[in-house]
Chain A
C-alpha cells in the first residue's frame, strides 16, 4: 500500500473542513480503505470531537514529533470503524510546535500501511496551513456559497498553485438549492465560474450534520441523510470512482410540486 495524502483546507474558518475530513475518513473506511486522519490544527483541536474520539486521546501529534511516543502509540482506532484512525493535535501548544518537514516525515511513515491519510488543515494561510499542505498529494478546498468563503478559497487556490501541488479540487459545502433558486445564494455554477477549478462535490445544507456532530458520529454512518450521501459520493470519487453529482432537487414545475407535496 502507498497512501494518498489528502489535505482539506479552506482559508476561511467555519466552512466545514473538520466535518468534511471526519466524514471522508469515515466514508473511506466504510468502503474498506485503511484511513488515518490527522488534526493539524494545533492548539484548536476539534477533529477528535467531530469523530467522537475525544475521550481516548493519550498522545498527540506534538508528542510524536518531540519523541515522547512512537507514531503507532498516538494513533486512535475508531471502534465503530476499525479501519479509521485519528492522530490528534496537541491542545496546549501552537502551530510552531511542528514544521512542514516533520509533517512530511509523519505522513511518509504512514504511507506504507494506509490507503488514505487525510490532513485537516487549520484556517488561515500561516504556518498551520503550510504544515498541513506540505505532505499533500492532493489538496481539497472547502468553501460555502458565501462571498467571504469564496474569496478566501481563491487565495488558497493561488497559494496551492504556486506551491506546485497540482490542481486543488473544490468541495462546495452547505449549498441550499431553494435559496439558489430564489436568487438568494451563489449557485454551484457561479462558484465554479469564479474560482475556475475542478469540482469534487457539493454538499447540501443539512441540519443532520449539526445533530451528528453533537453526537460525535459522522453523518455518513447513517444512510439516509443528503449530506451523508454527498460525502459518501465524494469519498467514492477520491477512490477514482465515476459518480455523477447528486441531484439536489428535482427540476421543473412537476418536480417542485412533487417535492412540495412530499413534505
Chain B
C-alpha cells in the first residue's frame, strides 16, 4: 500500500489522519480548560522556581499536556545544565517534573 502511495505521489497525510490529530490537539485544551496565555505563565514561573535550586537550560524547557485514556497529564521537560553538557556531551540530563491534573 505504501509503495503504491509512493508511486502515485500520495504523500500528504489522509484527511482521516488530519482529523484525528486536530481532534487530539483541541481536546487536550478543551479538557483542561486552561486559558491560552496561562500555560506560558506557568512555564515562566516553573523556570524561575526550579532555577533557584539547579542550573537549567531555560530556553529548552518544554511544558505540554498529554493524555492517556481520559487522564490528562502535565509534563515538563526541563534540561539541566550539568557537567556532561559542559564537557561537550550530546545530551543534557532532563529533569522530568510530572504532576497529575
Contacts and interface: CB of A to CB of B under 8 A. Distances in A.
A15 to B, nearest CB: 15
Nearest to B70: A196
Nearest to A189: B20
Contacts of A190: 16, 19-20
Interface residues of A, number: 21
Given A186-B20, A194-B23, A194-B24, A154 B15 contact: no
A109 B45 CA distance: 56
Given A183-B14, A183-B15, A157 B22 contact: no
Contacts of B31: 154, 158
Contacts of A150: 23
Contacts of A243: none
A150 B22 CA distance: 11
B26 interface: yes
Given A157-B70, A196-B70, A185 B16 contact: yes
A204 to B, nearest CB: 17
Interface in A176-202: 180, 182-187, 190, 193-194, 196-197
B20 A194 contact: yes
A246 interface: no
A4 B77 CA distance: 48
B27 A151 contact: yes
A183 B17 contact: yes
Contacts of A185: 16
A155 interface: yes
Contacts of A157: 70
A192 B37 CA distance: 30
Given A151-B27, A183-B16, 18 more contacts: A147-B22, A147-B23, A154-B27, A154-B30, A180-B16, A182-B14, A183-B14, A183-B15, A183-B17, A184-B15, A185-B16, A187-B16, A190-B19, A190-B20, A193-B20, A194-B23, A194-B27, A197-B70
Interface of A: 146-147, 150-151, 154-155, 157-158, 161, 180, 182-187, 190, 193-194, 196-197
A-B pairs, 4 with minimum CB distance:
A183-B14, A196-B69, A183-B16, A196-B70
13 contacts: A146-B19, A150-B23, A151-B23, A151-B30, A154-B30, A182-B14, A184-B16, A186-B16, A186-B23, A190-B16, A194-B20, A194-B23, A194-B27
